[in-house]
Amino acid sequence: MFFPVIILVLALQCGIGSLVEGEPLVVGYYRESCPFAEEIVQRVVARAVLRDPRMAASLLRLHFHDCFVMGCDGSILLDSVGGILSEKLAGPNINSVRGFEVIDEIKYYLEEACPHTVSCADILAIAARDSVVLRGGPSWEVWLGRRDSLTASFTGANQFIPLPNSSLVGLIANFGQQGLDIGDLVALSGSHTFGRARCLSFRQRVYQDYNPEEYHDRYQKQTTFRRVLSSICPETGGDQRLAPLDYVTKNLFDNEYFINILQERGLLHSDNVLVNEDHEGEILSRVWYYASDRQAFFSSFVESIVKMGNINVLTGVQGEIRRNCRLVNI
């Protein structure tokens, strides 16, 4: 508990925004160099979510997809220019991740207020927090001081971002590669308590996951829910049609996701494996705990997303502070 406080005091003494290479992130990083930075982000995110409630989940997802590829460095925001092949074109992202215009707007106002000061990677982290809060979820102190990458990794985006048809073993391995454990996997999966998914992402769940002869009782239990999903997502075509990840409270950040998957009504295959493939029960016990206690889920989610936000961050003289989040500086 004392180490982060010491780091913050040192940062304040040396001037916020003066991290050296290898130092951890701190709370209040822009307190002197751009005192209204977090307020600017919050206001733009609030307007965007008011216009489009789905945007909250989209901005949280941007932070997640950024951190799982080379770390939380804003690489997902880069367009294909020069020798850079954008992560936006990778399979898990193309025609799926969104919210780039909101980040552009935030960056515009920050550059007006505090030129060349606030990184795009930090914008993603703050916007993720504000998006969760605006939809009824928990708040937390965002640790800041990230710098932006000088490149992107199209290959990494295809390799490291979890897929909607992942097995539980695959998910555990995928999160483990990022230094995240089973507890983080379950807590961060709870972000599927709001937002939408494309038919392309959940078709397997509707038409392939269960054989009615082999799993008769389970299949019968899901008949109505599967019928609703099949009306949205035909067996062929309609790849871009959307369904809510949480069909009960689709625009709220709450613990309904865990209740849904216990009732075998998770939208994605990768949601349902948390309860269907956990033969030792460790994950299932966490799911039951969060389903019965919203505050417990909120506390675990905050701990895990802060941990995720520290994956392979660039600080000090590493990387750069982009003036335009879509392009490296010239």
DSSP assignment of 294-324 equals HHHHHHHHHHHHHHHTTTT-B-TTSSB--SB
CA distance 263 to 194: 17
Q: Which one of the listed residues 63, 65, 216, 269 is annotated catalytic?
A: 65
Please give the C-alpha separations between residue 116 and each of 12, 144, 173, 276, 317, in angstroms, as whole numbers.
20, 15, 38, 49, 14
Query: Which two three-digit tokens encode residue 248?
Result: 């009960």
Residue 130 annotated as binding site? no
The reported pLDDT for the residue numbered 23 is 75
Residues 154-158, mean pLDDT to the nearest whole number: 98
Residue 275 annotated as binding site? no
**Which carries the bigger pLDDT value, residue 92 or residue 216?**
92
The reported pLDDT for the residue numbered 213 is 53
CA distance 158 to 48: 28
Confidence of residue 165 (pLDDT cuts 50, 70, 90): very high
Residue 246 annotated as binding site? yes
All residues at 6 or more sequence positions from 153 whose CB lies less than 8 Å from its CB, including other chains: 69, 70, 75, 87
63 classed as catalytic? no
CA distance 152 to 73: 9
Confidence of residue 211 (pLDDT cuts 50, 70, 90): low
The reported pLDDT for the residue numbered 205 is 84
Confidence of residue 209 (pLDDT cuts 50, 70, 90): low
Residue 191 annotated as binding site? no
Query: What SS3 class is residue 231?
Result: helix
pLDDT beyond 50 at 168: yes
Domains by residue range for the chain, with CATH: 2-161 (1.10.520.10), 168-306 (1.10.420.10)
Residues 178-183, mean pLDDT to the nearest whole number: 97
Residues 254-280, mean pLDDT to the nearest whole number: 93
Pair 87, 75: CB distance under 8 Å: yes
Residues 146-164, mean pLDDT to the nearest whole number: 97
Please give the C-alpha separations between residue 252 and each of 29, 82, 148, 259, in angstroms, as whole numbers.
30, 40, 31, 14
Residue 249 annotated as binding site? yes
**Which carries the bigger pLDDT value, residue 245 or residue 213?**
245
Pair 290, 296: CB distance under 8 Å: yes
Confidence of residue 206 (pLDDT cuts 50, 70, 90): confident
Instruction: State pLDDT tens for residues 269-308.
Output: 999 999 999 878 999 999 999 999 999 999 999 999 999 9
pLDDT beyond 50 at 6: no
**Which carries the bigger pLDDT value, residue 136 or residue 330?**
136
Confidence of residue 133 (pLDDT cuts 50, 70, 90): very high
Q: Whole-prediction pTM value?
A: 0.90
CA distance 29 to 12: 8
CA atoms within 13 Å, Cβ hemisphere of 227 = 5
Pair 157, 65: CB distance under 8 Å: yes
Residue 97 annotated as binding site? no
pLDDT beyond 60 at 20: no
pLDDT beyond 80 at 38: yes
Q: How many CB atoms lie within 10 A of CB 163?
A: 16
The reported pLDDT for the residue numbered 197 is 97
Residue 122 annotated as binding site? no
Lowest mean pLDDT among 7-21, 72-86, 192-206, 272-286: 7-21
Lowest mean pLDDT among 23-27, 29-33, 159-163: 23-27
Provide the residue count of the chain. Answer: 330
pLDDT beyond 50 at 7: no
